[in-house]
A and B are shown apart, each in its own frame.
Chain A
Amino acid sequence: AQSVAQPEDQVNVAEGNPLTVKCTYSVSGNPYLFWYVQYPNRGLQFLLKYITGDNLVKGSYGFEAEFNKSQTSFHLKKPSALVSDSALYFCAVGGLTGGGNKLTFGTGTQLKVEL
């Protein structure tokens, strides 16, 4: 079975400071890893994904994520946070043995960026 853990329900950061949203995963075989963002009462928007290749993945809106196989982590990062980054962030994992294209989502981390 595949699973994702987002250990922090909420992350608070000051505007202009770097931000990190944590994600660890468990899956059989090579992981397919994703980050999504959700604004209130909206659907999820894709930010970035890791399938293979470079461990540092760059995505939309200046976000990036680092794949760490030994720590089974895929933390989301941004060098300088904006107030407009405040939203709910979801990490997701899939694997070829997990049943087709099924993704398992974490419970989400609420990011709050303050002035």
Chain B
Amino acid sequence: DGGITQSPKYLFRKEGQNVTLSCEQNLNHDAMYWYRQDPGQGLRLIYYSQIVNDFQKGDIAEGYSVSREKKESFPLTVTSAQKNPTAFYLCASSKTRIPDTQYFGPGTRLTVL
């Protein structure tokens, strides 16, 4: 079964904690992306990576960090510096480095307690 997996589905964090969201793909895609979704605001790009060991900040990178050590994996860490982290986080991947169809994982809902 090919696709993108995200874990966990639900995540609860206490204030001041860092948490890491997992994203794995077996589609052999070069590019991977992290988006944040809030009601009424659509999707906002946090970070993206077009190749292993390289990544760029998106529109709302502050308080987040990523790594891309393997082609298949693009974990996102939500740090304590992110002031309002409660949101739905979506990971996506695409085959090429030109605008192309992005395929999305099922999402992780993060709630800060």
Contacts and interface: CB of A to CB of B under 8 A. Distances in A.
Interface of A: 9, 32, 34, 36, 41-46, 49, 51, 90, 94-96, 98-103, 105-108
Contacts of A90: 42-43
Interface of B: 4, 6, 31, 35, 40-43, 45, 48, 50, 56, 58, 88, 90, 92, 94, 96-107, 109
A101 B98 contact: yes
B41 A107 contact: yes
A107 B96 CA distance: 25
Nearest to A49: B101
B104 A96 contact: no
Contacts of B92: 44
Nearest to A93: B99
Max chain A Cβ within 10 angstroms of own Cβ: one of B35, B50, B102, B106: B102
A9 B100 CA distance: 26
B45 A102 contact: yes
A5 to B, nearest CB: 11
A6 B106 CA distance: 23
Given A100-B31, A102-B58, 5 more contacts: A42-B107, A44-B104, A94-B99, A99-B56, A100-B98
B100 A101 contact: yes
* The 6 nearest A-B residue pairs measured at CB: A94-B99, A32-B99, A43-B104, A107-B42, A105-B43, A44-B104
